[in-house]
Amino acid sequence: MVKKRRGQSRDELVTHPLEEWERTVRLCLTGVFLVGREAAAAMIRHEVPGAIVNVSSGLAVGAYGQSAYTAAKAGVEALTRTWSYELGQYGIRVSAVAPGVMDGEALREKTSTFPRHARYMEGLQRFVPLGRWGMEEEIADAVCFAAESPYLTGSVIRIDGGGPPGWVP
């Protein structure tokens, strides 16, 4: 409904622009649909069973100021479950990996550039039971597990250190 702009206070929220909504949904949901659709069609056409592993986000449960992104990622999770029903008959398993916050270059750059963001992330990290952000290789391990596990389908693997369950300002 609302989108917070960089530098705005909580009282200065503006309506979430439709163009931004459409761009985000197109990238984060429609893109997943198009790639998965083509992969499934190729597997069916060549009668090759396999796995599709979608990427969702820990934010699929909702996050303040992230209406389009969270809705798109929740859509990825619904698409994952639906495709597992539709494609299982062809031997195609469909699952998703939903990363939490990753300790990578993008996070380090943003927190070093914006002290307010660094404070926010530091406070947020206190709600993660493991007390740290994830590492990129941990996500890669989860994707490999999802791709290789012969009885995993329709599931979303959350790689988030145990939380937090939702993201607040």
The residues annotated with a catalytic role in the active site are 69
Tokens of 66: 């992230």
Q: How far apart are CA 144 and CA 140, in angstroms?
A: 6
Q: Residue 135, SS3?
A: coil
163: left (phi over 0), alpha (psi -120 to 50) or beta: left
